[in-house]
Structure 1
Amino acid sequence: MDTPSTLHITNDPTQKNLDDDGREKRTGTWITASAHIITAVIGSGVLSLAWAIAQLGWIAGPAVLMAFSLITYFTSTLLADAYRAPDPVYGKRNYTYMDVVRASLGGKKVQLCGIAQYVNLVGVTIGYTITASISIVAVKRSNCFHDNGHDAHCKPSNYPYMIVFALIQMVLSQIPNFHKLSWLSIVAAVMSFAYSLIGLGLSIAEVAGGVHTKTTLTGTEVGINLSGSEKVWHTFQAIGDIAFAYAYSTVLIEIQDTLKSYPPENKMMKRASLIGVSTTTLFYMLCGCIGYAAFGNDAPGNFLTGFGFYEPFWLIDIANVCIAIHLIGAYQVFCQPIFGFVEMKCAQRWPESKFITSERAVNVPCCGAYPVNMFRLVWRTAYVTITALIAMIFPFFNSFLGLIGAGSFYPLTVYFPIEMYIARVKIPKFSFTWVWLKILSYTCLIISLVAAVGSVQGLLTDLKKYQPFKTE
């Protein structure tokens, strides 16, 4: 008697668009997941790696890069297995990082996870607003110098471009969820490759040109221009830059939730993580090491600016435009979990509200019918507006990102994946595996604290010279 009913449900066209838990059917593959990861990881942080290697030197710099690559990949595989619980293949799906922690650990750790994740995501979106405007201003400056000479007064304001960036994000933020974001991540990933390759090519040309630069095994040297304490602070900041350049765990579960249910999501996510982290490490190693070889111990914070605003101005313009386009996509990758969390909570709190729950189809030229939700329209527009205003009021906010990253890297990338693995597999206390996992966890905690100290020192330095709404 049950068979006809089952067959009826299977043949129902509405059921074909639903997943095993009644939600919208997922269509993501390891390719789209890899694109999301590359978009999230190869951010503008790649541009600071030449500076980071310069602080650490030829021995410690590449070693730290490789160490964090291995740590990030290892903990991401642990986190991928926690997506379904209690079984990593047949268990119940958990849609967010908080859901995963709730299923595996529970208690106050869920709130700690939420605070670490969402504070980091908000900070990153504000930082990306600043960084994208800086890249467009760099294009304006290089064109100004090219047209008017190298002595021209070329100091355009960042603020109009922050507003333009925010307007673009207001439109893109209406993309309903991560499942509809794959095309934007692929475009952003291509852009990240483009500006990394341009910077790499210019660095190789600089080295091949025979320009003499001083590099050392231990990096920048204490002397007239660098005190011993500044060397320590810079070393701390460099370790922090490298550690946080790999941190994509804040969005890993949300990325995994876009994958099709077969093949198993954890296997596909591990493949995507391997591709994403390997690709990232290759680019980081090339850009960091060759950038250091090109500029030596005087490597700038952004190695694209080390080539000046002059010639080849058109190539540096292309690189900076690619950075801006990449950050447009990366902003969406990092803000979608915030949007999803707030909208889910509001729908649970006010399930009868038409303003929150109802959608209507609107015909968009060249795109067909597009679902519009009034709450999503108002709330997401308000979020983008607020982040843009904060970026405009505190344009040095990038200094906060190191501090925010220090507070989120350890719990989200290391602590929770390890603790959930220990709880899920039921590893005996003081066994060999338990001990070395704990050693790894505490080592990363110390690194996060060290990076936080360096970030606070950098923040205090920025505050001393801060002048609101002043064009740099």
Structure 2
Amino acid sequence: MSSEMHNLSSLSITRGRYIDDGKHDDDGQLKRTGMQTLSCSSSCKFPFVLTVFVLHVGTWQHASAHIITTVIGSGVLSLSWCFAQMGWIPGVSTLLFFCVISLFTSILLTDSYRSPDPVFGTRNSTYMNAVKATLGMQQYKLCGIAQMGVLVGITIGYTTTTAISMAAIYKSICFHQHGHHADCHVSNNPLMIIFAIIEIILSQVPNFHELSPLSVIAAIMSFMYSTTGIVLSIAKIAGNGVGKTSLTGIPIGNNGLTAMEKMWRVLSAIGDIAFAFSFSFVLIEIQDTLKSSPPENKSMKKAATVGIFVCSMFYMMCGVLGYAAFGNDAPGNFLTGFGFFDPFWLVALANLCVVIHLLGAYQIIAQPIFGFMEEWARKRWPENRVIRKHYTMGSLEFSLFRLIGRTTYVVVMTIIAMLFPFFNDFVGLIGACTFWPLSVYFPIQMYIAQFNIPRLSCAWICLQLITVACFIVSLVAAIGSTRGLVKSVTTFKPFQSVS
């Protein structure tokens, strides 16, 4: 982007002004036309001809793909374990609760993309900007702490989950080649490093607007591994019958399970389910990829409804069928619970889909972090040439600051993942921390402020009751997950994670 374009964009965002030249939206950015062209010039060093690929973007369908890519992630892998801790009735009820709340607050949040008017107001290109425009600077700072903390946590969780799935692929092939009694254990650390190297390359994609092809691929992968897990569950049930299940999950006394340990596990499971529905913290960023006609809030409401409905349907099938297949012995990652033997290729394929999906989901989660870091640096050192300078290599735009900053971030997150590779407790804690502030509190408070809901009115009281109830749910889930994480840390040796 040239300096002139950057200045125009900055003026448009801060003052709501733009040049009506037919090429730019009212925020100074190029119009979201709904078309994105990916091409390769004749200088591309490929043994085949890469033809021009035209992709329709900027529509609610692609926003749905972004949502599905973000929502159906590593959270789906732990749902059968959650059902085992909670049982049929609490498990199904909890999943439906988070589904309804996520849809309700997401619909409220879509109206905060423009302010003060949800259709004709000024664009807010990020979640944090929407909070600042509607609730003020103090709430903006709190939102920044919550959003950045959660996004950082999720990128760490994705690194751990990808290593587990990559290890599962290796073990499936190893057992097939060397027999069921072979020693096929593998260290997770080299796998995390491989994942980090790929993410460093992908992180050079400038922003959300360039991620649509990656998002579509990732969404397809999420469907594939979720469907594979469902098919394997059905096959296991057909072959071995329904596992030992109950209405309230693993009974107290089973394998020495105490009432206190049962409670901690249930609380951790609630956090896991909350994590499975986490995406509100990037909803505004996804909405910013939509073209302005029809109005973005109208398109985003449709995208959120479709995306959450599809995700909930898959979640319910994965949780119910996974619990039915494994019973109270359901593993933390239900794809690895099917063993690494026959059909080894199907288990390996499912885990490969997890890896590909998380490669894309990592970028969708990390983009707000990258954008925040780079915008802060531009404001802090406005004349610094390393920060401002962009280079062109053929059709690619290159930034030295982007390369250094984003590479450093990926490396640091990978090191932390090596130190704390605890899947269930970690995602539970992230989910608990994400759910209330970013998925409930800020969307509801922005809606109240934007539409001037009278204090102590019926609508105001109902919205505040939802806020309080969800806060209590998040608090107890966070306590349970923290306790499990502390327990795991006391028995784990850093950098020695093995699958």
What TM-score do the two structures reach when normalised by structure 1?
0.93
- Counterpart residue number, 1:25: 31
SS in 1 for 2:321: helix
1:223 is the counterpart of 2:229? no
Aligned twin of 2:12: none
Residues 162-241 of structure 1 mapped to structure 2, 5 A cutoff: 162-225=192-255, 226-241=257-272
Does residue 1:37 correspond to 2:67, yes or no? yes
Offset, 1:131: 0.9
Contact preservation (8 Å) 1:55, 1:235 = yes
Measured in 1, the distance between the counterparts of 2:142 and 2:427 equals 18
Please state whether the residue corresponding to 1:371 is helix, strand or coil.
strand
Task: Note the C-alpha offset of 1:199.
Answer: 0.4
CA distance in 1, matches of 2:198, 2:407: 11
Tell me, yes or no, if structure 1 residue 279 matches structure 2 residue 272: no
Q: Which whole-Å CA distance do the structure 1 matches of 2:242 and 2:154 have between them?
A: 37
Q: Is the 8 A contact 2:276 2:431 kept in 1?
A: no
Is the Cα contact below 8 Å between 1:73 and 1:277 reproduced in 2?
yes
Tell me whether 1:101 sits opposite 2:126 in the alignment: no
Q: Structure 1 residue 145 and structure 2 residue 175: aligned? A: yes
Deviation of the 1:93 alpha carbon: 0.6
CA distance in 2, matches of 1:370, 1:14: 28
- Is the 2:80–2:323 Cα contact (8 Å) retained in structure 1? yes
- Over aligned residue pairs, what C-alpha RMSD do you find? 1.6
Residues 1:244 and 2:275 aligned together: yes
Among 166, 170, 188, the alignment partner of 1:136 is: 166
CA contact (8 A) 2:79 2:318 kept: yes
1:83 and 1:100 in contact (8 A); partners too? yes
Q: Could you say which residue in structure 1 is the equivalent of 2:54? A: none
Cα drift, residue 396 of structure 1: 2.9
**Aligned-pair distance for 1:23?**
1.8
Confirm or deny: 8 A CA contact 1:391 1:397 kept in the other structure.
Answer: no
Q: What does residue 444 of structure 1 align with? A: 470
1:54 maps to 2:80: no
Distance (whole Å) between structure 2 residues aligned to residue 346 and residue 63 of structure 1: 45
SS at match of 1:36: helix
Q: Does 2:434 correspond to 1:403?
A: no
SS where residue 87 of structure 2 aligns?
Answer: helix
- Partners of 2:337 and 2:418 in 1: CA distance: 25
Given that 1:126 and 1:397 are in contact with CA atoms closer than 8 Å, whether structure 2 keeps it comes out as no
Task: Label 1:298 to 1:174 Cα distance change in 2 as closer, same or farther (>3 A).
Answer: same
1:465 is aligned to: 491
CA distance in 1, matches of 2:213, 2:424: 28
- Residue 299 to residue 371, structure 1, CA distance change in 2 (3 Å): same
Shift of 1:393: 2.9
Q: Distance in 2 between matches of 1:276 and 1:54?
A: 26
Task: Please say if residues 247 and 413 of structure 1, whose CA atoms lie closer than 8 Å, have aligned partners that are also in contact.
Answer: yes
TM score, norm. by length of structure 2: 0.89
Alpha-carbon distance in 1 for matches of 2:342, 2:21: 59
- Please list every run of 5 or more consecutive structure 2 residues that lacks an aligned counterpart in the other structure: 1-18, 35-57
Equivalent in 88, 108, 128 of residue 118 of structure 2: 88
After TM superposition, the structure 1 stretch with the greater mean CA deviation from structure 2, 22-31 or 370-379, is 22-31
d(CA) in 1 for partners of 2:289 and 2:455? Answer: 35
CA contact (8 A) 2:77 2:334 kept: yes
Q: Determine the C-alpha separation between the residues in 2 that align with 1:152 and 1:268.
A: 53
The CA distance in 2 between the partners of 1:241 and 1:62, in whole Å, is 14
SS of the residue 1:108 aligns to: helix
What secondary structure sits across from 1:361 in the alignment? strand
Question: Counterpart in 1 of 2:285?
Answer: 254
3-state SS in 2 of match to 1:79: helix
Q: Which amino acid aligns with 1:258?
A: T
Structure 2 vs 1, CA of residues 341 and 24 (structure 1 numbering), >3 Å: closer, same or farther? farther
Give deviations 1:270-313, integer Å, cap 9, x for gaps: 11101110000000011100111111111111111221111111
How many Å separate the matches in 2 of 1:392 and 1:105? 38
Q: In structure 2, how many angstroms separate the alpha carbons of the residues matched to 1:471 and 1:337?
A: 29
Q: Give the Cα–Cα distance (whole angstroms) in 2 for the partners of residues 121 and 325 of structure 1.
A: 19
- Which amino acid is 2:385 matched to? K
Which of 448, 452, 467 is equivalent to 1:422?
Answer: 448
Residue 359 of structure 1 corresponds to 390
**Superposed displacement of residue 213, structure 1:** 1.6
Going from structure 1 to structure 2, the CA distance change for 1:147 and 1:182 (only over 3 Å counts) comes to: same
Q: Kindly state the Cα deviation for residue 351 of structure 1 after the two structures are TM-superposed.
A: 2.5
Kindly indicate whether the alpha-carbon contact (under 8 Å) linking 1:155 and 1:471 is maintained by their aligned counterparts in 2: no
CA drift of 1:143 comes to 1.4
Structure 1: which amino acid aligns with 2:363?
Q
Matches within 5 A, 1:330-409: 330-363=361-394, 369-396=395-422, 399-409=425-435
Q: Could you tell me which amino acid in structure 2 is paired with residue 200 of structure 1?
A: I
Alpha-carbon distance in 2 for matches of 1:388, 1:16:
44
Partners of 2:194 and 2:271 lie apart in 1 by 31
